[in-house]
Amino acid sequence: MATQGCAVVFSISLLLFLSTATDCFAPLPKSESSMLSLEHEKTADTYPFLCASFGPSPSSPSSVHHIRPSDLAVFSALGLSNSPQAAHVSKWIAEILSIFNPHISTLLPNMPLSRNRNLLEQAEDLVLSLRRDEAVQSDTSWGLLLMFVNVDELHVSPGQEAAAVSSATKEIEEVLSTLQSQLHHTLVRVVVWSEEREALYSSKSTLEKAILTGVLQESVSGLLASRQWFGERDDFSAVLLSSPLGNHHSTDHSARPTTNPTANQHTLQLWAEMLQSVTDQPSEYDDGMSKIACPTEDLPYLRTQRNSQLEFRKKTDTQSTPRLDPVNGSELPCADRNPSPSTPSSVHELRPADIKVVAALGDSLTAANGAGSAPSNLLGVLTEYRGISWSIGGDFNLNRVTTLPNVLREFNPSLVGFSLGKGSEDSPKAFLNQAVPGANAHDLPKQARVLIQKMKNDTRIDFQNDWKVITLFIGGNDLCDHCSDSVYYSTANIVGRIQDTLDILHKEVPRALVNLVEVMHIVPLRQLHQDSSLKCPTWLLNRLCRCVVKPRDGSRELRMVADLNRDYQRGMVELVDSGRYDTHDNFTVVVQPFFREVVLPLLDDGRPDRSYFAPDCFHLSQKAHSLMARALWNNMLEPVGNKTSTYDFSAGLGLQCPSESAPYLRTYRNSNYTYPGPAPSPTPPSNWGSDFSCTDTASSPTIPTSVHSLRPGDIKVVASLGDSITAGFGAKAKNLGQLSDEERGVSWSIGGDETLETVTTLPNILKKFNPNVYGFSKGKDNSTKGFNMAISGAKAGGIPRQVRNLIQAWKNDGRVDWENDWKLVTLFIGGNDLCQYCHDRVSLSTKNYMQYIRDSLDMLYNEVPRVLVNVAEILEIEDLRKIHRNSLGCQLLQKSLCPCFLIPGENSPELSEMKRINREFQVQTEALVSEGRYDGRDDFAVVIQPFFQNSVVPMNSVGQPDLDFFSVDCFHFTERGHAEMAIALWNNMLEPVDSKQIYNNFTHDRSKIKCPTKDRPYIFTRVPDTPQPVRCPESLPVWATAVLAVVGLVIGWAVTWALLSCRERRNRHEMASNVEMKAVKF
């Protein structure tokens, strides 16, 4: 019967395919793109996100500058061989074009065959393919060609960036010359593309790559202009996309970024610019969802350089932004420059001349990226001009370069620690400037430790006796990245990381005054990117600081940026006002607030003055560094509580001097400032419950038939599979005698003890949506374990048996409606496989691990109706090496439980192997789920929940691993750890598949539970892009497949004529259904 069923489905599938096939050769199936072809009036009324077609030109256009989308007969692309995301964009552009011409022929390169062929070879292959295509045989057929230039394929050696760009530009010139000589009636769109692979790039290298992308963009733009490819012939034109495309930068705060913009957005941006001038933007619906840009009756053509009114119009005013002569030197009017009579013992009696050492921590503003570059040299932003950095540079002297060290050298010529010239933080000239371009607050502790070691090792520094000034400035990049993860970049977390850094300095550095410079008021910098006449590379800022630059004026997002900016500033003040760093007289921290308000410098005509900024209009020029140095110095001499908090770039700012009555660098004590003191310590929590704020908890009006429309309230049955973690092993243990207790009632994914207010578990969250949810565990008795099938010590090899037991338990339980109840299963396994891997590499191999997981999921898929499976990724077990406790349990048990990770030495081959296998488990599990194996049923889905993909060890207030999360064996989780896992799992379930948080955020906060929204009330699943083939039994004979294929073919030809008559009606129906189920595809 199964074979007969497959035969019928196979024949029908083949029949449907033949009925939608056309006679045109098109590697991209037209059945995909034709779904978007609708009649004019139906499109406008029913599907407002699609375009109403204005039809082709009355006659075939004679000029490439008068092509409508409907005139295109052929679409093709180059440069996709190593760019899977670019290939995705190309396919979606083809789908959009099919709206206007359902019969358009799409020729995309064969990815495997073209992988090792360069751009010129791909172009030659494409020319041959186009000549063979019937759609381009006519002299009147017009074609569109996308040419992706992948920045990742540039071969760049340090210091050879310009040569790499020149070589790439030359290759592009050869490709365009070939296309121009061989192709006619063709419009070429050149796209500089960056295929971001976040895991491979640090914050610093991402900045370098973004600059390199910009330089290549400018070089290609110059090439097209010099060769006049955009207007020399009427039957050929090459047009460059105004800004590069590719994934935006997302700071790598946990080995990989959590969220990136989708290829949908790149598709919309590319398509919009094909139709509109570069200043126009695709419109949006009220909910913020972008829609497809459409041609208009006034502007019906695909845009070229000639027909674009904005770019074709020659500007009469060619005057460039006035360039003011830099005034980077300063005069110091101070008469008294003497040190104290004897070395002071108190930081509150410190004169400028008593300072012997200067140091700095921070990001690219302290590294002085681009500060000395020429105004038009975007590549110069990659250079770190540390010698002219405002807080730590020491080039020349104060007469030529204004920096804090050069001011202090006027008081003490023997000052050390300042940086000179250019170079990275590792260069000898950087000295105690340990700022790193692209750094976030989480990078500061590492910088502090490196700084301390350098001070201890340098013979010029008397570490115990020399007075030191350390300037710390951070937070700009955190603001720039906050929209990618509002929790990670919350004020509490940012201030907490700054606190960790200051705690290190306070504990380890004697005789130090730390300047904590408030994060800059960053919102005014947006003005530079709102005036196109300034020619700022806004596309670059959309990558480096999209959270600040991209929100529209007056939008909620922009208000959030401004509020968070203020919160960061306020949090720094509150941290210092707590008095935490004034426990002894040889150390203090002073907030310097001159950046609290920023007044942007303006030209006489009211436009922002670019001379204060580096070529990227984001970093600061030497002119601004000089002003910052003056502002910092003056702040240091102003009393705490009465410091200047406004930074006016254009104001004439001179250097102040200590007075006879106040000769010291100002601190809270010598300013007679009283700290308000820290807020009262919160009462220690009595439980690890959570607050619940969701208001929309209703289930679906009727029981859903699709797993992709499943609300939390629709879940009737819960179950779990796994090992001792899911069994709750030792979750409440206070001693070794209690360690073996399996506290299943508090288990993260299946426990149901008490209520959510006192015990945070996934079932207790679900109870808020459906009080009758069934199957959770209670207590630690085996008789009340519900459908918690986890077994302590289990490996992946035991999961198939757990699944079999679960299925039998469901069938035997009268409270489970086998056919109708929606079931939620959570699978978490692999820890024991990894911990014991080195003892049995064959049995515990990645291949065997995946086979057991596959068998288990197959069993559920083939036998159980209405199931959603959570597969929680295995955590990074290496971090267990950081968990230590001076107790018998930790000393004896931890290494015996996980010897393969805990016994090998640091950087040993054995540890490297284990880390590789750990990652293989994660990657191959993701691949199994994403390959579509379980997409054939509408009532079944498997979803990867990756919150443990990049494991973060929770830290306590003194920067040490927080042992409250770990049981007495330093291996299993306590109830607190289970609560955090439950929250992370639940929040993952409410995040889109491609935008899930991929690290754990174990911080106690009763309000972290996310809520479904009215717009997105469902548990997120991976909806298949296209219908998946029916999976036939593996026992189906080979000859049967051939027979079925022949029979299907004969039947298909026999009835094609009947299906053609109703084809249009069916297409409309399928389109409506597709829209209803998947919402808007683009």
DSSP letter assigned to residue 996: -
Residue 614 contacts residue 620 (beta carbons within 8 Å) = yes
The pLDDT of residue 232: 66
Nearest CA to 60 among 157, 142, 167? 142
> What is the phi/psi pair of residue 1060, to 5°?
-60, -30
The Cα–Cα gap between 719 and 868 comes to 10
> How deeply is 312 buried, as exposed, middle or buried, from its count of CB atoms within 10 A (0-12, 13-18, 19+)?
middle
Tokens of 564: 């968070």
Banded model confidence at residue 16, pLDDT cuts 50, 70, 90: very low
Task: Name the E strands within 600-704.
Answer: 646-648
Q: What is the DSSP string of 927-943?
A: HHHHTTTT-S-TTEEEE
Supply 919's token pair.
């990652």
pLDDT score at 1079: 27
Q: Positive or negative CA dihedral for 191, 192, 196, 200?
A: positive
Q: What is the pLDDT of residue 277?
A: 55
Tokens describing residue 346? 């108190």
Paired tokens of 392:
């730590």
Q: Alpha helices, DSSP H only, in 545-651?
A: 546-549, 556-577, 622-637
pLDDT higher than threshold 50 for residue 649 = yes
Percent of the chain with pLDDT over 70: 81
CB 537, CB 221: distance < 8 Å: no
Give me 993's structure tokens.
Answer: 């598949």
Helices and strands: H and E segment counts in the chain: 29, 16
φ, ψ of residue 1065 to 5 degrees: the values are -65, -40
End-to-end CA distance of the chain: 41
pLDDT of amino acid 367: 97
Backbone angles phi, psi at 53, to 5 degrees: -75, 135
Q: Which residues pair with 777 in a beta bridge?
A: 751
Q: Which two tokens stand for residue 676?
A: 């308000």
CB 134 within 8 A of CB 24: yes
Q: In this predicted structure, what is the pLDDT of residue 682?
A: 64
Query: What kind and span of H or E run contains 494?
Result: helix 491-508
Please choose, from the candidates 357, 347, 342, the residue with its C-alpha nearest in 3D space to the C-alpha of residue 469: 357
DSSP state of 180: H
What is the overall mean pLDDT for the chain?
Answer: 83
Which whole-number Å values give the CA distances from 497 to 476, 492, 520, in the listed order? Answer: 14, 9, 17
**Alpha-helix runs per DSSP H in 536-615:** 538-544, 546-549, 556-577
* Torsion sign, CA atoms 98, 101, 105, 106: negative
Structure tokens at 754: 């008490």
177-181: Cβ within 8 A, 24+ apart: 178/120, 178/123, 178/124, 178/127, 179/123, 179/127, 179/145, 179/236, 179/238, 180/229, 180/233, 180/236, 180/238
Q: pTM of whole model > 0.85?
A: no
pLDDT for 376 beyond 90: no
Report d(CA 614, CA 742) in Å as an integer: 61
Q: Which of 684-693, 714-723, 1027-1036 has the lowest mean pLDDT?
A: 1027-1036
> Which backbone phi and psi does 419 adopt, to 5 degrees?
-100, 155
Highest mean pLDDT: which range of 254-268, 394-408, 528-542: 394-408
Segment 182-214, tens digit of pLDDT: 888 899 999 998 875 544 445 667 778 888 888
Q: Is the dihedral of CA 144, 150, 153, 159 positive or negative?
A: positive
Whole-number pLDDT of residue 230: 62
Confidence of residue 1026 (pLDDT cuts 50, 70, 90): very low
Reported as half-sphere exposure (CB side, CA atoms, 13 A), residue 466 has a value of 21
Helix ranges (DSSP H) in 753-882 = 762-767, 799-812, 831-835, 846-863
Strand partners, 108: none
Q: Which residue has the higher pLDDT, 225 or 553?
A: 553
Q: How many degrees, rounded to 5, is the angle at CA 426 between CA 422 and CA 427?
A: 40
Of 524, 646, 653, nearest in space to 596 by CA:
646
Instruction: Please give the average per-residue pLDDT across 658-683, as a whole number.
Output: 86
pLDDT of residue 423: 94
| Contact (CB, 8 A) for 224 and 238 | yes
Per mean pLDDT, which range of 20-34, 51-65, 632-646, 979-993 is the poorest? 20-34
pLDDT over 80 at 10, yes or no: no
Q: 1072-1075: which pairs have CB atoms within 8 A and are 24 or more residues apart?
A: 1072/46, 1074/35, 1075/47
The whole-number average pLDDT for the span 535-545 is 87
Answer yes or no: is pLDDT of 623 > 80: yes
Are residues 713 and 1030 in contact, defined by beta-carbon separation less than 8 angstroms? no
Q: For residue 559, is pLDDT > 80?
A: yes
| Mean pLDDT across 668-686 | 80
State the Cα–Cα distance between residues 522 and 520, nearest whole angstrom: 5
4 pLDDT higher than 50: no
Residue 506 has pLDDT above 70, yes or no: yes
Helix (H) or strand (E) segment spanning residue 310: helix 309-312
What phi and psi, each to the nearest 5 degrees, are found at residue 968? -70, -15
Burial of 192 (0-12, 13-18, 19+ CB in 10 A): buried
> Quick one: which of 471, 473, 477 has its CA closest to 440?
477
Phi, psi angles (nearest 5°) of residue 83: -135, 80
* 3-state DSSP assignment of residue 776: coil
- Which of the 8 DSSP states describes residue 137? S
CA–CA dist 517, 495 (Å, integer): 13
Q: Tell me the mean pLDDT in the region 638-662.
A: 88
The upper half-sphere exposure of residue 602, i.e. CA atoms within 13 Å in the direction of its Cβ, equals 9
Token pair 């596959």 is at which residue? 854
**Distance, CA of 613 to CA of 538 (rounded, Å):** 13
CA 938 to chain centre: 30
Burial 776-803 (b: 16+ CB within 10 A, else e): bbbbbeeeebbbbbbbbebbbbbbbebb
Structure tokens at 421: 């010239």
Question: Exposed/middle/buried for 1060, CB within 10 Å: 0-12, 13-18, 19+?
Answer: exposed
Residue with tokens 């049981």: 967
Three-class DSSP category at 237? strand
Write the pLDDT tens digit of every residue in 444-498: 999 999 999 999 999 999 999 999 999 999 999 999 998 877 778 889 899 999 9
The residues with which 788 forms a beta bridge, in sequence order, are 720
pLDDT above 90: residue 620: yes
Instruction: Look at the chain and count its residues.
Output: 1082
Q: How many CA atoms lie within 13 A of 525 on its CB side?
A: 29
pLDDT, residue 989, reads: 96
Give the lowest-confidence range in 598-602, 787-791, 942-946. 598-602
Helices within 374-443 (DSSP H only):
404-411
Q: 589: pLDDT confidence band, cut at 50, 70 and 90?
A: very high
pLDDT at 1004: 78
What is the number of other CB atoms lying within 10 angstroms of the CB of residue 199? Answer: 11
Instruction: Write phi, then psi, for 602 (nearest 5 degrees).
Output: -120, 150
pLDDT at site 894: 85
Alpha helices in 431-490 (DSSP H): 444-457, 476-481
Residue showing tokens 């108190």: 346
406 in Cβ contact with 419 (< 8 Å): no
User: With 0-12 CB in 10 A as exposed, 13-18 as middle and 19+ as buried, what is 82?
Assistant: middle
Contact between residue 154 and residue 101 where contact means Cβ atoms under 8 Å apart: no
Most confident residue range from 10-24, 301-315, 687-701: 687-701
Read off the pLDDT band of 259 (50, 70, 90): very low
> Do the Cβ atoms of 180 and 229 come closer than 8 Å?
yes
Predicted confidence at residue 307, as pLDDT, reads: 74
Percent of the chain surpassing pLDDT 90: 52
Q: Which of 167-181, 628-642, 1024-1038 has the highest mean pLDDT?
A: 628-642
Q: pLDDT value at position 156? A: 81
